[in-house]
C-alpha cells in the first residue's frame, strides 16, 4: 500500500534515533531531541494549487525540517506518517 499525495502535499516520516535513512546513514542519538526532522517518503505532483503554480522542490529521501504542528498525522499499515504542504517544509538538511 502506498500514499499518493494530491497537489503540493508531501508525506514525511519522523526520524527516530539510530534509524537508518535510505542512503544508509545512521542518525546520531540527539535525533531524539529533534522532533521536526523527518524524511520525505512521497511527494505530490505540484501544479496549480489554490490558483497558484507550485513547483515541488523536495524529493523522496530528502531529510527536512518542518513547521511544528503543521500537517496531519496518518497511520498506514501500523506506520505513522505526516501529510503536509510543501510550504510547511522549512529547509532541507544536507549531509
Per CB under 8 A, residues contacting a second copy are 1-7, 9, 11, 30, 33-34, 36, 42, 44, 48, 50-53, 55, 57-58, 65, 67-68, 72, 74-78, 83, 86-87, 89-95
Q: What is the phi/psi pair of residue 60, to 5°?
A: -55, 135
Find out whether 40 and 10 touch, Cβ atoms under 8 Å: yes
Task: Quickly count: other Cβ atoms within 10 Å of residue 17's Cβ.
Answer: 13
Nearer to a second copy, 16 or 77 (CB): 77
Nearer to a second copy, 22 or 55 (CB): 55
Min CB(79)–a second copy separation in Å? 11
Q: What angle do CA 34, 37, 41 make, to 5 degrees?
A: 150
Min CB(70)–a second copy separation in Å? 9
29/42 Cα distance (integer angstroms): 25
Min CB(68)–a second copy separation in Å? 6
Amino acid at each position: 500500500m502506498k500514499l499518493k499525495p494530491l497537489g503540493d502535499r508531501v508525506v514525511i516520516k519522523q526520524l527516530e534515533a539510530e534509524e537508518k535513512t535510505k542512503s544508509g546513514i545512521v542518525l546520531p542519538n540527539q535525533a531524539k531531541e529533534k522532533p521536526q526532522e523527518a524524511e520525505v517518503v512521497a511527494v505530490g505532483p505540484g501544479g496549480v494549487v489554490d490558483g497558484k503554480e507550485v513547483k515541488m522542490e523536495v524529493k523522496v529521501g530528502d531529510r527536512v525540517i518542518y513547521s511544528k504542528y503543521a500537517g496531519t498525522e496518518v497511520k498506514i499499515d501500523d506506520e505513522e506518517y505526516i501529510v503536509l504542504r510543501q510550504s510547511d517544509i522549512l529547509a532541507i538538511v544536507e549531509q
